[in-house]
Amino acid sequence: MLFAAKSAARKRAEFRAALRSGALLRFPGAFSPLVSLLIERHGFEGVYISGAVLSADLALPDVGLTTLSEVAQRGRAIARVTRLPAIIDADTGFGEPLSAARTVQEFEELGLCGCHFEDQLNPKRCGHLDHKSLVPAADMVKKLRAATGARRDANFVIIARTDARESEGLAGAIERAKVYVDAGADMIFPEALHDESEFEQFRKAVAVPLLANMTEFGKTKLLSARQLADLGLNLVIYPVTSLRLAMKAVEQGLAVLKAEGTQALLLDKMQTRAELYELIQYEKYAQFDKDIDNFKP
Protein backbone atom coordinates (compact mmCIF):
# COMPACT_ATOMS: atom_id res chain seq x y z
CA MET A 1 0.00 0.00 0.00
CA LEU A 2 1.28 3.47 -0.98
CA PHE A 3 4.84 2.21 -1.54
CA ALA A 4 6.18 -1.21 -2.50
CA ALA A 5 7.09 -3.32 0.53
CA LYS A 6 10.76 -3.36 -0.44
CA SER A 7 13.28 -0.56 -0.02
CA ALA A 8 15.20 0.94 -2.92
CA ALA A 9 18.47 -0.19 -1.35
CA ARG A 10 17.26 -3.79 -1.20
CA LYS A 11 16.03 -3.65 -4.79
CA ARG A 12 19.43 -2.36 -5.92
CA ALA A 13 21.29 -5.08 -4.03
CA GLU A 14 19.03 -7.77 -5.49
CA PHE A 15 19.45 -6.31 -8.98
CA ARG A 16 23.24 -6.47 -8.64
CA ALA A 17 23.02 -10.07 -7.48
CA ALA A 18 20.72 -10.95 -10.38
CA LEU A 19 23.21 -9.48 -12.85
CA ARG A 20 25.93 -11.66 -11.37
CA SER A 21 23.77 -14.77 -11.72
CA GLY A 22 24.29 -14.99 -15.48
CA ALA A 23 20.56 -15.34 -16.15
CA LEU A 24 18.86 -13.09 -18.71
CA LEU A 25 16.79 -10.39 -16.99
CA ARG A 26 13.69 -9.18 -18.84
CA PHE A 27 12.65 -5.54 -18.32
CA PRO A 28 9.51 -4.47 -20.23
CA GLY A 29 8.90 -0.75 -20.48
CA ALA A 30 6.41 0.97 -18.18
CA PHE A 31 4.94 4.34 -19.09
CA SER A 32 2.92 4.55 -15.88
CA PRO A 33 2.91 3.09 -12.37
CA LEU A 34 -0.08 0.91 -13.28
CA VAL A 35 1.89 -0.73 -16.07
CA SER A 36 4.76 -1.50 -13.69
CA LEU A 37 2.30 -3.37 -11.46
CA LEU A 38 1.25 -5.51 -14.41
CA ILE A 39 4.89 -6.18 -15.32
CA GLU A 40 5.49 -7.39 -11.77
CA ARG A 41 2.35 -9.51 -11.80
CA HIS A 42 3.39 -11.28 -14.99
CA GLY A 43 6.65 -12.40 -13.44
CA PHE A 44 9.26 -10.27 -15.20
CA GLU A 45 12.52 -9.43 -13.47
CA GLY A 46 12.42 -5.65 -13.72
CA VAL A 47 10.94 -2.49 -15.18
CA TYR A 48 12.44 -0.19 -17.80
CA ILE A 49 11.55 3.50 -18.11
CA SER A 50 12.19 4.82 -21.61
CA GLY A 51 13.04 8.42 -22.39
CA ALA A 52 11.49 8.02 -25.84
CA VAL A 53 8.24 6.85 -24.26
CA LEU A 54 8.16 9.70 -21.74
CA SER A 55 8.70 12.14 -24.61
CA ALA A 56 5.97 10.52 -26.68
CA ASP A 57 3.56 10.58 -23.74
CA LEU A 58 4.09 14.36 -23.64
CA ALA A 59 3.45 14.46 -27.42
CA LEU A 60 7.09 15.41 -28.01
CA PRO A 61 9.68 13.79 -30.32
CA ASP A 62 12.63 12.01 -28.74
CA VAL A 63 15.15 14.80 -29.38
CA GLY A 64 16.23 15.66 -25.84
CA LEU A 65 13.40 18.06 -24.98
CA THR A 66 12.45 16.47 -21.67
CA THR A 67 14.08 17.80 -18.52
CA LEU A 68 15.70 16.01 -15.60
CA SER A 69 12.80 16.96 -13.32
CA GLU A 70 10.19 15.60 -15.74
CA VAL A 71 12.01 12.30 -16.22
CA ALA A 72 12.99 11.90 -12.57
CA GLN A 73 9.49 12.44 -11.23
CA ARG A 74 7.94 9.99 -13.67
CA GLY A 75 10.66 7.52 -12.77
CA ARG A 76 9.94 7.97 -9.09
CA ALA A 77 6.20 7.40 -9.59
CA ILE A 78 6.85 4.16 -11.46
CA ALA A 79 9.58 2.81 -9.17
CA ARG A 80 7.58 3.63 -6.04
CA VAL A 81 4.84 1.04 -6.53
CA THR A 82 6.72 -2.06 -7.63
CA ARG A 83 8.93 -4.54 -5.81
CA LEU A 84 10.94 -4.93 -9.02
CA PRO A 85 14.12 -2.96 -9.79
CA ALA A 86 13.54 -0.09 -12.22
CA ILE A 87 16.17 1.36 -14.53
CA ILE A 88 15.71 4.60 -16.41
CA ASP A 89 16.90 6.36 -19.56
CA ALA A 90 19.05 9.39 -18.71
CA ASP A 91 19.53 10.44 -22.37
CA THR A 92 22.81 12.36 -22.56
CA GLY A 93 22.81 13.19 -18.85
CA PHE A 94 20.81 16.44 -19.12
CA GLY A 95 23.97 18.46 -19.57
CA GLU A 96 27.69 18.23 -18.97
CA PRO A 97 29.52 16.02 -16.41
CA LEU A 98 28.25 17.93 -13.38
CA SER A 99 24.68 17.49 -14.62
CA ALA A 100 25.32 13.78 -15.10
CA ALA A 101 26.50 13.58 -11.49
CA ARG A 102 23.37 15.32 -10.28
CA THR A 103 21.24 13.01 -12.43
CA VAL A 104 22.62 9.93 -10.66
CA GLN A 105 22.01 11.38 -7.22
CA GLU A 106 18.47 12.46 -8.11
CA PHE A 107 17.65 9.00 -9.46
CA GLU A 108 19.15 7.32 -6.39
CA GLU A 109 17.14 9.57 -4.10
CA LEU A 110 13.93 8.75 -5.97
CA GLY A 111 14.28 4.98 -5.76
CA LEU A 112 15.67 4.01 -9.17
CA CYS A 113 18.16 1.14 -9.42
CA GLY A 114 20.19 2.25 -12.42
CA CYS A 115 20.31 4.48 -15.47
CA HIS A 116 21.98 4.70 -18.84
CA PHE A 117 23.81 7.57 -20.50
CA GLU A 118 24.33 7.74 -24.26
CA ASP A 119 27.17 9.15 -26.32
CA GLN A 120 25.11 11.25 -28.73
CA LEU A 121 25.37 14.96 -29.33
CA ASN A 122 22.33 17.10 -28.64
CA PRO A 123 19.85 17.32 -30.20
CA LYS A 124 19.87 13.56 -29.72
CA ARG A 125 17.45 11.24 -31.48
CA CYS A 126 15.98 7.77 -31.24
CA GLY A 127 18.72 5.18 -31.42
CA HIS A 128 17.12 3.46 -34.41
CA LEU A 129 17.03 6.55 -36.65
CA ASP A 130 19.76 7.51 -39.10
CA HIS A 131 22.25 10.39 -39.03
CA LYS A 132 23.03 10.42 -35.32
CA SER A 133 26.02 12.50 -34.22
CA LEU A 134 28.29 11.31 -31.43
CA VAL A 135 30.43 13.11 -28.91
CA PRO A 136 34.14 12.23 -28.79
CA ALA A 137 34.70 9.18 -26.60
CA ALA A 138 36.78 11.32 -24.25
CA ASP A 139 33.74 13.51 -23.53
CA MET A 140 31.60 10.48 -22.72
CA VAL A 141 34.35 9.23 -20.41
CA LYS A 142 34.14 12.46 -18.42
CA LYS A 143 30.39 12.02 -17.95
CA LEU A 144 30.78 8.41 -16.89
CA ARG A 145 33.51 9.24 -14.40
CA ALA A 146 31.33 12.02 -12.98
CA ALA A 147 28.32 9.70 -12.79
CA THR A 148 30.12 6.80 -11.12
CA GLY A 149 31.85 9.14 -8.70
CA ALA A 150 28.56 10.74 -7.67
CA ARG A 151 26.65 7.65 -6.62
CA ARG A 152 26.33 7.01 -2.92
CA ASP A 153 24.94 3.48 -3.23
CA ALA A 154 27.55 1.27 -4.88
CA ASN A 155 24.74 -1.00 -6.11
CA PHE A 156 23.26 1.73 -8.31
CA VAL A 157 24.08 0.51 -11.84
CA ILE A 158 25.65 2.92 -14.34
CA ILE A 159 25.03 1.81 -17.92
CA ALA A 160 26.88 3.28 -20.90
CA ARG A 161 24.97 3.29 -24.16
CA THR A 162 26.87 3.68 -27.41
CA ASP A 163 25.16 4.65 -30.65
CA ALA A 164 28.34 4.16 -32.66
CA ARG A 165 27.21 1.12 -34.67
CA GLU A 166 25.88 3.22 -37.54
CA SER A 167 28.54 5.90 -37.87
CA GLU A 168 31.69 4.06 -36.71
CA GLY A 169 30.78 0.47 -37.49
CA LEU A 170 30.70 -2.51 -35.17
CA ALA A 171 34.44 -2.31 -34.47
CA GLY A 172 34.12 1.36 -33.51
CA ALA A 173 31.20 0.60 -31.21
CA ILE A 174 33.17 -2.16 -29.50
CA GLU A 175 36.18 0.10 -29.07
CA ARG A 176 34.03 2.78 -27.46
CA ALA A 177 32.45 0.18 -25.18
CA LYS A 178 35.87 -0.91 -23.91
CA VAL A 179 36.80 2.70 -23.19
CA TYR A 180 33.53 3.22 -21.30
CA VAL A 181 34.14 0.12 -19.20
CA ASP A 182 37.56 1.48 -18.30
CA ALA A 183 35.81 4.72 -17.24
CA GLY A 184 33.68 2.81 -14.75
CA ALA A 185 30.54 1.71 -16.62
CA ASP A 186 28.95 -1.34 -14.97
CA MET A 187 27.09 -2.41 -18.11
CA ILE A 188 27.19 -1.64 -21.82
CA PHE A 189 24.12 -0.92 -23.96
CA PRO A 190 25.15 -1.30 -27.63
CA GLU A 191 22.29 0.39 -29.46
CA ALA A 192 20.94 -0.70 -32.85
CA LEU A 193 23.00 -3.83 -33.40
CA HIS A 194 21.65 -5.71 -36.38
CA ASP A 195 21.58 -9.43 -35.62
CA GLU A 196 22.84 -12.40 -33.63
CA SER A 197 26.32 -12.18 -35.13
CA GLU A 198 26.84 -8.64 -33.92
CA PHE A 199 25.63 -9.44 -30.40
CA GLU A 200 27.95 -12.45 -30.40
CA GLN A 201 30.95 -10.32 -31.41
CA PHE A 202 30.12 -7.75 -28.73
CA ARG A 203 29.81 -10.47 -26.10
CA LYS A 204 33.24 -11.86 -26.96
CA ALA A 205 34.86 -8.41 -26.81
CA VAL A 206 33.31 -6.89 -23.68
CA ALA A 207 33.60 -8.43 -20.21
CA VAL A 208 30.87 -6.53 -18.31
CA PRO A 209 27.12 -7.25 -18.54
CA LEU A 210 25.42 -6.37 -21.84
CA LEU A 211 21.95 -4.92 -22.42
CA ALA A 212 19.92 -5.70 -25.56
CA ASN A 213 17.18 -3.40 -26.84
CA MET A 214 14.35 -5.35 -28.46
CA THR A 215 12.35 -2.40 -29.72
CA GLU A 216 9.84 -2.88 -32.51
CA PHE A 217 10.19 -1.41 -36.04
CA GLY A 218 13.88 -0.63 -35.57
CA LYS A 219 17.25 -1.71 -36.93
CA THR A 220 17.67 -4.69 -34.61
CA LYS A 221 16.28 -8.11 -35.47
CA LEU A 222 13.77 -9.15 -32.82
CA LEU A 223 15.35 -12.03 -30.94
CA SER A 224 13.65 -14.25 -28.37
CA ALA A 225 14.67 -14.33 -24.73
CA ARG A 226 16.08 -17.81 -25.31
CA GLN A 227 18.22 -16.59 -28.21
CA LEU A 228 19.53 -13.66 -26.18
CA ALA A 229 20.32 -15.89 -23.22
CA ASP A 230 22.20 -18.28 -25.49
CA LEU A 231 24.22 -15.32 -26.80
CA GLY A 232 25.24 -14.42 -23.25
CA LEU A 233 23.22 -11.22 -22.91
CA ASN A 234 22.42 -10.18 -19.34
CA LEU A 235 19.43 -7.88 -19.69
CA VAL A 236 16.84 -7.19 -22.37
CA ILE A 237 14.51 -4.20 -22.52
CA TYR A 238 11.22 -3.91 -24.42
CA PRO A 239 10.98 -0.13 -24.14
CA VAL A 240 7.94 0.87 -26.18
CA THR A 241 5.92 -2.36 -26.34
CA SER A 242 3.35 -1.48 -23.69
CA LEU A 243 2.80 2.05 -25.04
CA ARG A 244 2.34 0.78 -28.60
CA LEU A 245 -0.14 -1.84 -27.42
CA ALA A 246 -2.07 0.71 -25.36
CA MET A 247 -2.16 3.38 -28.08
CA LYS A 248 -3.40 0.96 -30.75
CA ALA A 249 -6.11 -0.28 -28.40
CA VAL A 250 -7.19 3.29 -27.62
CA GLU A 251 -7.14 4.21 -31.31
CA GLN A 252 -9.31 1.27 -32.26
CA GLY A 253 -11.65 1.79 -29.33
CA LEU A 254 -12.22 5.46 -30.12
CA ALA A 255 -13.05 4.53 -33.71
CA VAL A 256 -15.73 2.12 -32.49
CA LEU A 257 -17.08 4.69 -30.04
CA LYS A 258 -17.32 7.32 -32.79
CA ALA A 259 -18.99 4.95 -35.26
CA GLU A 260 -21.41 3.27 -32.85
CA GLY A 261 -22.14 6.08 -30.42
CA THR A 262 -21.59 3.70 -27.47
CA GLN A 263 -18.78 1.72 -25.91
CA ALA A 264 -21.03 -1.32 -25.37
CA LEU A 265 -19.20 -3.34 -28.04
CA LEU A 266 -15.84 -2.69 -26.36
CA LEU A 267 -16.53 -4.01 -22.87
CA ASP A 268 -14.86 -7.36 -23.46
CA LYS A 269 -11.66 -5.54 -24.48
CA MET A 270 -11.53 -3.45 -21.30
CA GLN A 271 -9.93 -4.02 -17.92
CA THR A 272 -12.92 -4.21 -15.60
CA ARG A 273 -13.48 -2.02 -12.58
CA ALA A 274 -12.93 -5.03 -10.33
CA GLU A 275 -9.65 -5.88 -12.05
CA LEU A 276 -8.37 -2.32 -11.72
CA TYR A 277 -9.35 -2.10 -8.05
CA GLU A 278 -7.64 -5.42 -7.33
CA LEU A 279 -4.45 -4.28 -9.08
CA ILE A 280 -4.22 -1.06 -7.03
CA GLN A 281 -5.28 -2.81 -3.78
CA TYR A 282 -8.34 -0.64 -3.34
CA GLU A 283 -9.67 -2.90 -0.57
CA LYS A 284 -6.59 -2.32 1.59
CA TYR A 285 -7.11 1.43 1.44
CA ALA A 286 -10.77 1.01 2.36
CA GLN A 287 -9.77 -1.18 5.32
CA PHE A 288 -7.23 1.45 6.39
CA ASP A 289 -9.95 4.10 6.49
CA LYS A 290 -12.26 1.75 8.37
CA ASP A 291 -9.61 1.00 11.00
CA ILE A 292 -8.90 4.71 11.52
CA ASP A 293 -12.57 5.59 11.82
CA ASN A 294 -13.12 2.78 14.33
CA PHE A 295 -10.31 3.95 16.60
CA LYS A 296 -11.32 4.29 20.24
CA PRO A 297 -9.03 5.83 22.88
Per-residue pLDDT band at 289 (split at 50, 70, 90): confident
Is 294 tagged catalytic?
no
Is the same domain home to 106 and 77? yes
Q: Give Cα separations from 28 to 36, 93, 130, 163, 243 (angstroms).
A: 9, 22, 25, 21, 11
Conformation bin of residue 15: beta by default, left when phi > 0, alpha when psi is -120 to 50:
alpha
Catalytic residue among 14, 62, 119, 198: 62
pLDDT tens-digit readout, 223-247: 999 999 999 999 999 999 999 999 9
Q: What is the DSSP string of 146-215?
A: HHHHH-SSTTSEEEEEE-HHHHHHHHHHHHHHHHHHHTT-SEEEETT--SHHHHHHHHHH--S-BEEE--
Catalytic residue among 116, 125, 128, 176: 116
Catalytic residue among 45, 106, 119, 191: 191
Do the domain assignments include residue 260?
yes
Is the same domain home to 225 and 252? no
Per-residue pLDDT band at 291 (split at 50, 70, 90): confident
Do the domain assignments include residue 157?
yes
Is the same domain home to 87 and 159? yes
Give the model's pLDDT for residue 288.
80
Total domains in the fold of the chain: 2
Is the same domain home to 53 and 137? yes
Tell me the residue type at 110. Answer: L
Is 62 tagged catalytic?
yes
Is 176 tagged catalytic?
no
pLDDT tens-digit readout, 9-28: 999 999 999 999 999 999 99
Residue 235, classed as helix, strand or coil, is strand
Is the same domain home to 88 and 199? yes
Tell me the residue type at 222. Answer: L
Catalytic residue among 40, 45, 118, 119: 118
Catalytic residue among 48, 119, 128, 186: 48
Is the same domain home to 42 and 121? yes
pLDDT tens-digit readout, 197-226: 999 999 999 999 999 999 999 999 999 999
Is 42 tagged catalytic?
no
Is the same domain home to 235 and 268? no
Do the domain assignments include residue 1?
no
Is the same domain home to 83 and 202? yes
> What range defines the domain where residue 276 resides?
247-293
Catalytic residue among 40, 45, 91, 119: 91
Output the domain CATH number for residue 19: 3.20.20.60
Is 291 tagged catalytic?
no
Is 161 tagged catalytic?
yes
Is the same domain home to 44 and 191? yes
Do the domain assignments include residue 2?
no
Is the same domain home to 206 and 261? no
Say whether pTM exceeds 0.85.
yes
Q: Which residue has the higher pLDDT, 252 or 133?
A: 252
pLDDT tens-digit readout, 28-84: 999 999 999 999 999 999 999 999 999 999 999 999 899 999 999 999 999 999 999
Is 86's pLDDT higher than 90? Answer: yes
Query: CA 141, CA 119: separation in Å to the nearest integer?
Result: 9
Is 182 tagged catalytic?
no
pLDDT tens-digit readout, 258-273: 999 999 999 999 999 9
Is the same domain home to 205 and 280? no
Is 118 tagged catalytic?
yes
Query: CA 267, CA 10: separation in Å to the nearest integer?
Result: 40
Do the domain assignments include residue 3?
no
Catalytic residue among 26, 102, 106, 126: 126
Is the same domain home to 234 and 288? no
On the question of a cis peptide bond just before residue 28, with omega within 30 degrees of 0, the verdict is no
Catalytic residue among 161, 180, 186, 234: 161
Query: CA 167, CA 159: separation in Å to the nearest integer?
Result: 21
Question: What is the share, in percent, of the chain residues with pLDDT greater than 70?
Answer: 96
